[in-house]
Amino acid sequence: MTDAVLVVNAGSTSLKFAAYAAAAGGGAPLLCRGVVDSMTTGPQFVAKTPEGKPIDAHEWGEGQAIDHKTALKFIVAWLERHEADIRVVAAGHRVVLGGTRFAAPVVVTPEVLDYLDGLAAMEPSHQAFNVRGARALAEEFPHLPQVAAFDTSFHRTMPEVAQVYALPKAARDTGVRHWGYHGISYDYISREVPKHAPDARRVIVAHLGGGASVCAMLDGKSIETSMAFAGLTGLPMATRAGDVPADVIFYLLRSGAYTEATLEKALYGEAGLLGLSGLSSDMRMLQDSADPGARLAVDYFVYCLVKFIGAYAALLGGLDALVFTAGIGENSAVVRAAVLARLEWLGLTVDAAANAANGPRISTADSKAAAFVIPTDEELMIARHTLALVKPA
């Protein structure tokens, strides 16, 4: 019998999962991963091997709808039926916001979920759905231990001056502060960097995917990150605007061009690469296009990335290593080359052949600083945290 940890990333209409074996010695080899998507319109289940080969699929039917509890019950039953001698003994959840209470993963209790639910107004895109997944699993499997791992926890090492905004105390007392996100990914990368650059103390990591951010690390600890209060700010992203001046928001509302609801929808879902290009939110399409809008979107993305990296190098007092990770970071040689071309003053010179091959080291041997492509693995990080807190019987 193989004990397994189920890792869950619950969204509004989809639920991603991965299963890891609770191996002896603290290892957690991946067994499979998959998703239940289109939960409100025509739910579909797909599972794949660790190599990405399809294993199984299931459809509930067009026009059908299922909730998180139904999806999770199906996943657990499928795992224990399909994977020989599997017993799901614990579950780990990605939860974006841990608030001031949780600077590390925590065992889930009803009281913990109530607190996390209370933070949903701060981060409206993911928080409530992440918590809903944990509640649903607890209702269906009340004796299954669960752990919540937070995207904000890694950034609680930032100095206090980096976690506050110049707002009146009354505003700050509502919970407004610089939280920082993608922390599970940065946690994983911070543990991988020493394998590539054991002497690197001053490290900047660019997590570039559909959501994108940059993190400055000193001795493996976050000291600053670009994504701020919720999931909207910092770098431009696939459909999210990134940094927009506050006075622009007031102007757009005063002008009558947007309501609060339509402006929030535009900033989260119609802006970023999609908004600038007018074509697509997919960097692969944009970097291969000669369309002026596509070029503008790519150039703006690179510009903002260089701006943050330069600022963070100043905070760190220099740079030992720059890491690219996540979908764009791991796969776009075009973006990486454009960024590194503007960072030669930091001692970075791109190795064109290594960059085209996606690394791992993409800077020349004589560069004063090093640049790397290091694939992230947030699900594995959650599995490890879960196993550290929940010891299978």
Asked if omega into 168 is within 30° of 0 (cis), the reply is no
pLDDT at 376: 97
Task: For 196-223, write each residue's pLDDT tens digit.
Answer: 999 999 999 999 999 999 999 999 999 9
pLDDT, average across residues 163-167: 96
Could you give the percent of the chain with pLDDT greater than 70?
98
CB 18 within 8 A of CB 35: no
Q: Which residue is catalytic, options 3, 114, 117, 151?
A: 151
Measure the CA–CA gap between 332 and 239, rounded to whole angstroms: 18
Burial class (CB in 10 A: 0-12, 13-18, 19+), 292: exposed
Does residue 327 carry a pLDDT above 80? yes
Does residue 24 carry a pLDDT above 70? no
In the chain, where the domains are located: 2-150, 198-378
Q: Which residue has the tokens 């231990």?
A: 145
pLDDT at 25: 59
Task: For 236-251, write each residue's pLDDT tens digit.
Answer: 999 999 999 999 999 9
Of 347, 392, 344, 342, the C-alpha closest to 369 is 347
Could you give the 3-state DSSP secondary structure of residue 370? Answer: strand
Does residue 84 carry a pLDDT above 70? no
Q: How confident is the model at residue 337 (pLDDT cuts 50, 70, 90)?
A: very high
Let me know if 151 is a catalytic residue: yes
pLDDT, average across residues 138-156: 95
Arch. (CATH architecture) of 198-378: 2-Layer Sandwich (3.30)
Does residue 393 carry a pLDDT above 60? no
pLDDT, average across residues 174-193: 96
Does residue 1 carry a pLDDT above 90? no
pLDDT, average across residues 73-100: 89
Q: How confident is the model at residue 264 (pLDDT cuts 50, 70, 90)?
A: very high
Could you give the 3-state DSSP secondary structure of residue 251? Answer: helix
Residues listed for the chain = 393
Of the candidate CATH numbers 3.30.420.40, 3.30.1330.10, 3.30.870.10, 3.30.70.100, the domain formed by 2-150 belongs to 3.30.420.40
Does residue 278 come out as left (phi exceeding 0), alpha (psi in the -120 to 50 range) or beta? left
pLDDT, average across residues 371-384: 96
Pairing of strands 15-21, 2-10: antiparallel
